[in-house]
Amino acid sequence: MKRLKSTIAYDGTNFEGYQIQPNGRTVQGELQSALNQLHKGSKVKVYASGRTDAGVHAAGQVIHFDTNLHIPPEKWPYAMHTKLPADIRILSVEEVPSSFHARFSVVQKEYRYKVWIGERQDVFQRHYTYFYPFKLNIASMEVAKQYLIGTHDFTSFCSSKTEIEDKVRTIYELDIYEEENVLVFRVVGNGFLYNMVRIIVGTLLDVGRGKINANNLTTILKEGNREQAGKTAPAHGLYLWNVVYNDN
């Protein structure tokens, strides 16, 4: 038995999220179905770096699974693609030690959030960017983002459904830049709470519109009150972009 690590991409539009559910189409469900077919009906469990919600996309999700099939790593994408739907692609596969775990070995993650800021929505971007046709003060957003970089208790920036007690996380980088009509938020950290990136984006957009003062971010962080931060930006603008491990 050997352990394989795979980097995958998927279009989250038609999924109910990553994690397998009794009802609804999921990324994990499709992956395990494909692997079960390749293993002639034997059950194969797939582990991921983390769950993504319905509508969230991935450009660099990482999974691992154990197999006894004698398929060279470079041939696995071809084998998997014969069984997978077109909205999931296998980008790479490599053999790793049995101590590797897609979730527990993570060192840092990068998410990107895309906001369409053109006056008119592009019909072809409606599932991949958040349409937000409002004038934004980017300079204020740049000031506000600096308060979020570093190690903080992000209670104000996570869903009330979050069950994890320790809400301290570290953000290493937070960049805001424009690509044509798309404003991109790039966030790199050691881990993220439920809806954390989407709430950060929603808050910074409120700063850009003048609804929240940029210098109030310190107070919002300290008070730990979800209601003081901005709204949760929609899922379809979010991408899990990259996952880093010690072996990287």
Catalytic residues: 53
| Structural domain boundaries enclosing 34 | 2-96
> Do 114 and 222 have their domain in common?
yes
Mean pLDDT for all residues in the chain: 96
> Do 151 and 66 have their domain in common?
no
Q: Specify the pLDDT at position 184.
A: 99
> Do 126 and 215 have their domain in common?
yes
Q: Specify the pLDDT at position 58.
A: 99
Within the chain, where are the H helices?
Answer: 27-38, 76-81, 138-148, 196-208, 217-223
Q: Specify the pLDDT at position 247.
A: 63
- CATH code at 184? 3.30.70.660
Q: What is the mean pLDDT of residues 187-214?
A: 98
Q: Is residue 101 part of a domain?
A: no
Q: What is the mean pLDDT of residues 82-104?
A: 98
SS3 content of the chain, % helix, strand, coil (to 5): 30, 30, 40
Q: Is residue 19 part of a domain?
A: yes
Check the annotation: does 18 bind a ligand: no
> Do 14 and 89 have their domain in common?
yes
Residue at a domain's end among 96, 127, 152:
96
Residue at a domain's end among 41, 74, 96:
96
Q: Residue 160 pLDDT > 90, yes or no?
A: no
- CATH code at 12? 3.30.70.580
Q: Specify the pLDDT at position 27.
A: 99
Q: Is residue 194 part of a domain?
A: yes
